[in-house]
Structure 1
Amino acid sequence: MTDTDQAATGRRDRKKRQTRAALTAAALRLVAERGLEHVTVEEISEAADVSSRTFFNYFTCKDEALTNDPALDGTPVVARLATAPREVPALQAVRLALDEAVDTMQVDRELWRLRLAVIAQNPALLPRLMAGNVETERAMIAAIAARLGVDPDHGHPALVTAVAGATFRTAMLRWAAGDDSRPLHDFVDEAFAAVAAGLPDPPPPS
């Protein structure tokens, strides 16, 4: 591939990312303003200045535009998990593997705050937000099993994966609901540390 071809490919990829982001932002903004049942694909497309046909090049339906996000792509997380230092406990290895996703979400904090507010208003969207993680969870279980030298059917890898997912979601929700004084990294580190310590009860308020 020539330098010109690479530059053209880079521009196309950048344009695709921009179009996808515009559709997501438009969908979230309109649904937050009007409610899920009062927004159409056509209105989302118009707000993003693209055609409905273009919308369906990126998403299969309105709900997908609201919940799908590149930060939730588990492929890089699984890859980093597989290369985490062997001496690191499995739960901490998952935490380290989440770093890039955490950074991406921090940059897009307002978008995520809006997304989680829309999901809170429309709880039926939550299963769709989580559904994309099924294949990722299976891959994480396999990666954890490999690093521990146990069979994927062993209960521990699945437990670590489930606990890590719940821990991350809890931290994400607290971060989105708060002000801008603390980054997502702080909430994630705090939550994973509490789980690693055995979830001791917090001291009573003074």
Structure 2
Amino acid sequence: MALDPNAPLGLRERKKRAARRAMSEAALRLAAEKGVEQVRVEDIANAVGVSPRTFNNYFSSKEEAICSFIVERQERVLEALRERPLEEPLWEAVSAATLETYGREGEPNRDAVKLARSMILHPSVHGEFLKAHATVERVLAEGILERAGAGPENALNARLMAAIVESAVKTAFFHWLMNEGTEPFLETVSVLLREAAAGIPSLTGPEAVKKPKNQ
């Protein structure tokens, strides 16, 4: 069942997300300090003052905790999308939500990025990294579909649109990383999203209803 786009997160959900974020941050920090192989679930749980059982209610492994920041960021994109005006054209709303979310974080920290990249390439973490990116596309696609309206064609195109957005972000990120930040990350994302807009498939939505049929 589609969620109300304007419904705010409840207190329970906010607390769950805060706990999940705290455990994810602890997992990243400990992995950076000790190395992935030396970190135990018990270490992460102790760092945030919860039991290993509580940790396991949120994550299936330390590797999932390390990679969960990827999904959490996309959940913030989804929240931003739900806050966009319903009359705003769909692609403009998705682009604005993406840029708004990444804009809050500012330019990436190069040393932190390199450290995170080395952890993500670790054999035991890489599989969870790929799973996280697959989840990212699904999360955004569900948000797009909420806005566009359910239907087989919209479901397919929503997934495609989400994949395009995720690809633009990853392309901008690696361009920024490989070029030593000579071009601002957020500016590159914005350029790629604008260039991608010409090839976006048409999805029905609030703005489409108002367009005359002869246009």
Equivalent residue number for residue 79 of structure 2: 76
Give the structure-2-normalised TM-score. Answer: 0.61
Equivalent residue number for residue 95 of structure 2: 95
Q: What SS does the corresponding residue of 1:161 show, helix, strand or coil? A: helix
8 Å Cα contact 2:137-2:159 kept in structure 1:
no
Deviation (angstroms), 1:79: 1.6
Equivalent residue number for residue 65 of structure 2: 65
Deviation (angstroms), 1:82: 7.0
2:164 maps to a residue whose letter is V
Q: What SS does the corresponding residue of 2:119 show, helix, strand or coil? A: helix
Equivalent residue number for residue 40 of structure 1: 40
Change (3 A) 1:183 1:80: farther
Equivalent residue number for residue 169 of structure 1: 170
Structure 2: stretches of 5+ with no match in the other structure: 1-10, 200-215
Change (3 A) 1:100 1:117: farther
Which segment drifts farther, 34-43 or 64-73? 34-43
Identity of aligned residues (%): 27
Equivalent residue number for residue 7 of structure 2: none
Change (3 A) 1:125 1:157: closer
Change (3 A) 1:81 1:174: farther
Pairwise CA RMSD of aligned residues? 4.0
Q: Does 1:139 align with 2:142?
A: yes
Which segment drifts farther, 173-182 or 29-38? 173-182
In structure 2, distance between residues paired with 1:173 and 1:100 = 20
Deviation (angstroms), 1:162: 2.0
Change (3 A) 1:138 1:195: closer
8 Å Cα contact 2:137-2:162 kept in structure 1:
no
Change (3 A) 1:105 1:195: same
In structure 2, distance between residues paired with 1:44 and 1:180 = 32
Matches within 5 A, 1:1-206: 13=15, 17=18, 20-69=20-69, 70-73=72-75, 75-80=78-83, 83=86, 85-86=88-89, 90-106=90-106, 109=109, 113=113, 114-122=115-123, 123-143=126-146, 145-146=148-149, 151-153=151-153, 156-175=157-176, 183-196=184-197
1:163 maps to a residue whose letter is I
